[in-house]
Structure 1
Amino acid sequence: MAEVSFVAFVEDVLDGKNGAWGLKTAEAHSRKDESGQWQTVSRTFRTVKAAYETTINFGIFAKGDKVKVVGKESTEVREYQGKKFYDLIVKAESVVPFQSNREPVGVSVAPAADTWTAAPAYTDETPF
Structure 2
Amino acid sequence: LAFLCCTLGHIFSPWLKFKGGKGIAVAVGCLFVTFGVMGALLEIAVFAVVVAISRFVSAGSLAAAIVCPIFAAYYFLFQAFDPIAWVLCLVTALVVIWAHRGNIHRLATGTERRIGDKAKE
Q: Whose helix proportion is higher, 1 or 2?
A: 2
Shorter-chain TM-score: which interval? Answer: under 0.3
> TM-score normalized by structure 1?
0.23
Larger radius of gyration: 1
Q: Whose strand proportion is higher, 1 or 2?
A: 1
> TM-score normalized by structure 2?
0.24
